[in-house]
Amino acid sequence: MFFHDRRLQYKVRVDKPNPQFARLLQQAIGGIEGEIRVCLQYLFQAWGNRGPAKYRNMLLETGTEEISHIEMLCTAVALNLEGAKGSIIDEVVSSNPVVEQIMGGMDPRHYLSAGLAAMAADANGVPFNGSWVVASGNLAADMHANVMAEATGRTLATRLWESTTDPGMKDMLAFLIARDTMHQNQWLAVLEELGGPSAHPIPNSFPQEEEVSSVAYSFISTNINMPEKPIARWTDGTSIDGKGVFTYEHGTPMGEEPMLAPPIREGYAQAEQMINKKDNI
């Protein structure tokens, strides 16, 4: 069950409202690297968690924290949009100042649809999409999904930090960047508990003898010019999971040219497709 405090997890202050920056912040709310995604991702992982309960509990802790981050960012968007108000009042001589604001890079829906508030969308107004919420039922796979989310999320946050000179916004982002540092480490800590590199290949519960072992540790080059083996970690030596040895080979078709049956009558293909397969190669 969930509870709230009216106060924010960290202070959100906008010194100079900037409707354009409000648009950029949307990426951190409703974008694929954003906070709605990690919030739902950690919570869905917790709610579906099977196995040691300590992981469920931890996911619940951090999933809950992420709601607070959405809240901070939505507040920041609303405060930045108050800049739209200023210009409308100040530049009342201009023929249609709202349009000017919007045309200067603001998301027009911040005014048209939301009345100067945040939306569940990214910096281009593309709505948040539930398909981004990854909860696979495999704990190690999920932890990698989480590291990835925090790595792209922290990269986004640093770019936002770079995009503003507002001290309040820089401070808020510096907080969120720090939390992303922790969260990356946190998911890596779980991976360490799960065996680190030797947890691979994920899932580790599938019997590896069922794989086509001849290609399980082989870098297959698809370069038509068949270049020599490059000097790289992935072409030589023991594999990272410690369960094989890297090799390098030039790819070549191991299968045949596929042959499909002719169309069935009920599929209403064109009549010309119905002729005998043998005749038409």
Task: Return the structure tokens found at 249.
Answer: 């080979």
Q: Does 228 bind a second copy (CB under 8 A)?
A: no
Tell me how far apart the alpha carbons of residues 33 and 158 are, in angstroms, rounded to a whole number. 12
Shortest separation between residue 106's beta carbon and a second copy, angstroms: 8
Asked if residue 135 lies in contact with residue 35, where contact means CB atoms within 8 angstroms, the answer is no
State which of residues 57, 90, 167, 229 lies at the interface with a second copy (CB under 8 A).
57
Element (H, E) at 15: none
Shortest separation between residue 13's beta carbon and a second copy, angstroms: 9
Question: Who's near 178: CB < 8 A, 6+ residues apart?
Answer: none
State which of residues 15, 27, 35, 167 lies at the interface with a second copy (CB under 8 A).
27
Bridge partners, residue 127, by sequence: 121
Angle at 149 (CA atoms; ends 143, 155), nearest 5 degrees: 135
Q: Does 35 bind a second copy (CB under 8 A)?
A: no
State which of residues 90, 91, 162, 229 lies at the interface with a second copy (CB under 8 A).
162
Tell me how far apart the alpha carbons of residues 163 and 174 are, in angstroms, rounded to a whole number. 13
Shortest separation between residue 207's beta carbon and a second copy, angstroms: 9
Shortest separation between residue 105's beta carbon and a second copy, angstroms: 3
Residues 74-113 binding a second copy (CB under 8 A) are: 74-75, 78-79, 82, 84-85, 88-89, 95-96, 98-99, 102-105, 107-109, 111-113
Site string for a second copy, 229-248 (x = CB under 8 A): -x-xxx----xxx--x-x--
Asked if residue 67 lies in contact with residue 9, where contact means CB atoms within 8 angstroms, the answer is no
CA 217 vs. chain centroid, Å, equals 28
State which of residues 91, 167, 211, 229 lies at the interface with a second copy (CB under 8 A).
211
Shortest separation between residue 215's beta carbon and a second copy, angstroms: 5
